[in-house]
Structure 1
């Protein structure tokens, strides 16, 4: 959270140039804060945003069934068995993981038909592990944590309002926005960390796939968002994808991601909107292999990546309509998975929280 200090300074700076009143804005003009690329702007408008997302994981799962650490350590084969120092089963088991991502975005509309977008991020990851002793049995050698962090990949592109920007005062109460964007591989995919091996050594190695910060590939980021309003009720649908282009310098690419979400909101007042959302996500396995990622742990196996997941998410959008903060938007979403089918063994998602600030000029 210490990386939110610069973001707070930006909010304060923007406050000093805010209008004293903002009669035309409504809290439900924007989708829930976890939905990106949902809206466009009119010619000459500019918007900045800051989001912070926290995700928590614990326990492990194969398909839709949970699996205990002792069972992983004694029954799941190690694909690297036969290489020097590699035991027959997965003797290092992840037990919990936390991810914090701070995202800073900007939008500018040089014309009514296109809004240019850019977003960067700073990512912090922590994963706790249990190391079992030797090559068999359930005696525990000890525990350790890896915690890589750094600047993530940057997304740039454009949003095209096919139906124009909705005017809430008129009969036009629907929008269809298309995003064409690309992710630039600015994040590192060669992070390292010190681990504890089953034999008690503490080498520094390259962290496994899900503990890297960047993808290492140029990725296409298409999205299509339809949303509308009927009085105090808002609704929307979105598809968003991440399509990998080629392989990275380490010899692999992450699986493609496809996401679909739908939401309904209710606005009891101009400044407040409450929302409920369902989100489905599918992600493929890692294609290829990094020869520097090797170990008796599930996260080092490219086949134990990806899967399917459905989340239920509740949110609150607010907008200040009077005073020094007029026009500033503050929002929150919290959610949890209701279904997970994982290419496991793999860490199981627990819950997620997103908070955000937005301001248009």
Structure 2
């Protein structure tokens, strides 16, 4: 609106003389210009620690054209104690007979730990499109007890599984800008490179002899299917603060060669970060996830042996809270490198059980952009 138009409107509404309206317009002009500048589109600042989301969030940012980023992420997940719905279940009830109020399984998992090493590479195809490749190596172990449903005492044993998991290819794209932030979309495809036929020795032979058997679904390294992995992320930066939110999903395409597919998965997460210096920030994150049971079954995995082998005891939903920190080198010999960590713990779990409940997850990552 120009000065003359503003003067006429001001005079008509307020009954003030046009000269008084003109002087009032001149007095607020600098403020109007400042607001216009603040609301104008501005690129996200990358030379600050909170330019990336907490390390537990992926596919949240883009890179400039011809820019590379390589990284390594380590995730440690620990599960302990069984749960059905929101209630804890004892291992004794898991392998007690149905007639005595138990679940009737022969085994009861007691704990599980997973270490995942992820290698990632990102390349800026242009300022608006970034390509991403992720590969992971997993090392898992599960403690369980075998109950013969007789007078003999339960037999504790451990299963171990390790190897390369599924590989993901993805394209990230600029989905829009706001005054202080941006939308980033993701179209990803997971390739079934991880094994779904891993075996280990278990005490299921005569008189508890160890025999090689296919391990439960949670101990396999991949899904066995091609999986779509779409996501949409919004992040915004202000002076000393940043925040963001992401919606993501894992959609299984068909069944694998063992005649089953894992359940679809959806996740919503939001975070806020405090920038203490350009090189350091801390974050608070909330994560809500939901995943389905297995459709079909692997004939080599007896669903009566263990809750972890039961296709109908794999789904659930969970809410977690995470605390994180990002460190970034804006200059010097380490320029462009980031080190980040995040610790998450659940505040709510509702599981189709009995199923091992999540206790905590630790994410650590290093990234280098050049």
TM-score by length of 2: 0.84
Which of 171, 185, 210 does residue 178 from structure 1 map onto?
185
User: For residues 163 and 173 of structure 1, what CA distance do their matches in structure 2 show?
Assistant: 11
* Deviation at residue 320 of structure 1 after TM alignment: 1.5
User: For residues 162 and 71 of structure 1, what CA distance do their matches in structure 2 show?
Assistant: 51
Would you say the 8 A contact 1:60–1:347 is kept in 2? yes
User: For residues 162 and 297 of structure 1, what CA distance do their matches in structure 2 show?
Assistant: 45
Which has the greater radius of gyration?
2
SS at match of 1:28: helix
Would you say the 8 A contact 2:70–2:367 is kept in 1? yes
User: For residues 163 and 369 of structure 2, what CA distance do their matches in structure 1 show?
Assistant: 28
Q: Is 1:129 matched up with 2:144?
A: yes
Q: Is 1:290 matched up with 2:298?
A: yes
* Deviation at residue 190 of structure 1 after TM alignment: 0.4
Would you say the 8 A contact 2:196–2:220 is kept in 1? yes
* Deviation at residue 140 of structure 1 after TM alignment: 2.5
Match of 1:212 in 2: 220
Distance 1:129 1:163, change over 3 A: same
Alignment of 1:199-348 (within 5 A): 199-294=207-302, 295-348=304-357
TM-score by length of 1: 0.86
* Deviation at residue 201 of structure 1 after TM alignment: 2.9
Q: Is 1:154 matched up with 2:167?
A: yes
User: For residues 239 and 171 of structure 2, what CA distance do their matches in structure 1 show?
Assistant: 29
Q: Larger deviation: 319-328 or 68-77?
A: 68-77
Deviation readout 1:122-157 (Å, 9 max, x if unpaired): 01110001122x2246x5332110011110000002
Q: Which has the higher contact order (CA 8 A, sep 6+)?
A: 1
Which of 53, 56, 68 does residue 90 from structure 2 map onto?
68
Distance 1:100 1:24, change over 3 A: closer
Match of 2:61 in 1: 39
* Deviation at residue 91 of structure 1 after TM alignment: 2.3
Deviation readout 1:241-267 (Å, 9 max, x if unpaired): 100000000000000010110000100
User: For residues 43 and 72 of structure 1, what CA distance do their matches in structure 2 show?
Assistant: 55
Would you say the 8 A contact 1:158–1:180 is kept in 2? yes
Alignment of 1:346-361 (within 5 A): 346-361=355-370
Which of 128, 133, 154 does residue 141 from structure 1 map onto?
154
Would you say the 8 A contact 1:92–1:197 is kept in 2? no
Deviation readout 1:306-329 (Å, 9 max, x if unpaired): 200010000000101332112210
Higher helix content, 1 or 2: 2
Q: Is 1:188 matched up with 2:195?
A: yes
* Deviation at residue 75 of structure 1 after TM alignment: 4.1
Instruction: Report how many residues are paired.
Output: 322
User: For residues 353 and 89 of structure 1, what CA distance do their matches in structure 2 show?
Assistant: 34
Runs (5+) with no aligned partner, structure 1: 1-22, 78-87, 167-171
Distance 1:76 1:233, change over 3 A: farther
Distance 1:327 1:97, change over 3 A: same
Runs (5+) with no aligned partner, structure 2: 1-44
